[in-house]
Amino acid sequence: MKLKIGVHGLTSCYGCQLRMASVKNVLEIAKNFNIEYWYMMSSKGEIKHVDVAFVEGSVSTKEDEEELKLIRENADILVAMGSCAIYGGVQGMLYGMEYEKAFLEVYGNNTIELEGKIGEPISKYVKVDYKLPGCPPEEDELLYYLACFLLGSYPEEKDYPVCAECRRNGYPCLLIEKNEPCLGALTTAGCKARCIKFGIPCIGCRGPLEEIAWYDSLANVFKEKGMEKEIIKARMEIFGKQYENMDEMVEKVFK
């Protein structure tokens, strides 16, 4: 019996699913698993029992919430795939703002029958078994997760930051040497510090690394380099707004 998987998209850019669809050997995935549900790719299928469900996107509507609960009820293992599912994604940056206010600013005094909300991580609504980080996830990590499930084993999440990979690759440190606002120290590894290789400071797209994301200490370094609080906060909240105490940690440094 082949392992049954489902791939689902809530509110997002569909990039995690696109990465899954565009891995070089996507036909191998189709051969080795029974894909019970993947609406972006197939018009067959309904949500029913699967061994593993991959969920991309944040909960941004009432429908997202209901669909997510249905997915959870039908999945033995649920993987939160990508930054939207894990931390609410870039749209999760409005966390703390009232939905009505955001709606008024964008849609004006119009009525839409659908019920929206500010994007939230899926773990607020259901139990998440594994997190597959990235915006979007890396091909090798995606295949590693799939291979683990295929072999009846379990994937190990990375517990070190982008900085560790960057040092190992011997790239010049953009923060220390070039005074760039690099977020590599807070961010979950796995990208092999690709952006830094291209001379671009990390924007934190893979999301904060739990227990290691010391926003206060990095904000302090930025402050010493002469960056203003608002600029630092605005950059850190792009992918970290819904990380526990992120705001407080940054505020503390500027007290």
Partner 1 sequence: MKIEREIKVDHLARIEGKAGVIVEIGKDIKAKIKVTEGPRFFELITKGKKYDDAVAICPRICSFCSIPHKLTPIEAVENALGIETSEQTKLLRNILYFANMVESHALHLYLFAIPDYLGYPDAFSMAKEHLELVKNGLELKDFGVKVQSIIGSREIHPENAIVGGFGKIPSKNEMEKVKEMAKEVIKRAVATVDFFAEYEYPSYIDYERNHLLIKPYDGYGVYGNEIVASDGFSFNVSYYKENIKEEVVPYSFAKRGKYKDKPFMVGAISRLTNNHALLDGEAKELLNNYREFLNPSNCFANNFAQAIEMVYFIEKIAELAENYEGKDESKAKAEKKSGRGYAVTEAPRGLLIYEVEIENEIVKYMNVITPTAMFLPMMEVDVVNMAKGMWENGYKDIDLIGKKVEMVIRAYDPCISCSVHVIKI
Return residues touching partner 1 (CB under 8 A): 9-15, 18-19, 21-22, 24, 26-27, 30, 35, 38-44, 58-61, 63-64, 89-91, 93-94, 97, 102-103, 105-108, 110-114, 116-117, 119, 135-136, 194-195, 197-200, 203, 205, 230-231, 234-235, 238
| CB distance 4 to 49 below 8 Å | yes
In this complex, which beta carbon is closest to partner 1, that of residue 101 or of residue 167? 101
Contact 98, 218 (CB under 8 A): no
In the complex, least distance from residue 211 CB atom to partner 1, rounded to whole angstroms: 26
DSSP 150-170: HTT--PPPP-SBHHHHHHHHT
E strand segments, 57-180: 59-61, 75-81, 116-120, 130-132
**Looking at beta carbons only, is 106 or 151 nearer to partner 1?**
106
Cα gap 105→102, rounded to integer Å: 5
Instruction: State the minimum distance, in angstroms, from the CB of residue 69 to partner 1.
Output: 16
When the beta carbons of 94 and 148 are compared against partner 1, the nearer one is: 94
**Cβ 154 to partner 1, closest distance in Å?**
26
Q: Closer to partner 1 at the Cβ: 35 or 164?
A: 35
| Tokens read off for 237 | 């909240």
Dihedrals φ, ψ of 33, to 5°? -125, 155
Q: Which is nearer to partner 1, 205 or 249 (CB)?
A: 205
CB of 153 to partner 1, least distance (A): 25
* Residue closer to partner 1 (CB basis): 117 or 223: 117
Treating both helix axes as pointing N-terminal to C-terminal, what angle do 215-224 and 246-253 enclose, rounded to 10 degrees?
30
CB neighbour class for 101 (10 Å; exposed up to 12, middle 13-18, buried from 19)? exposed
Closest CB to partner 1 among residues 153, 198? 198
Question: CA dist 203 to 27, 37, 195, 229, Å?
Answer: 33, 33, 9, 16
Residue 138 Cβ vs partner 1, minimum distance, rounded to whole Å: 9
Q: Please, which residues have CB within 8 angstroms of residue 224's CB and are 6 or more apart in sequence? A: none
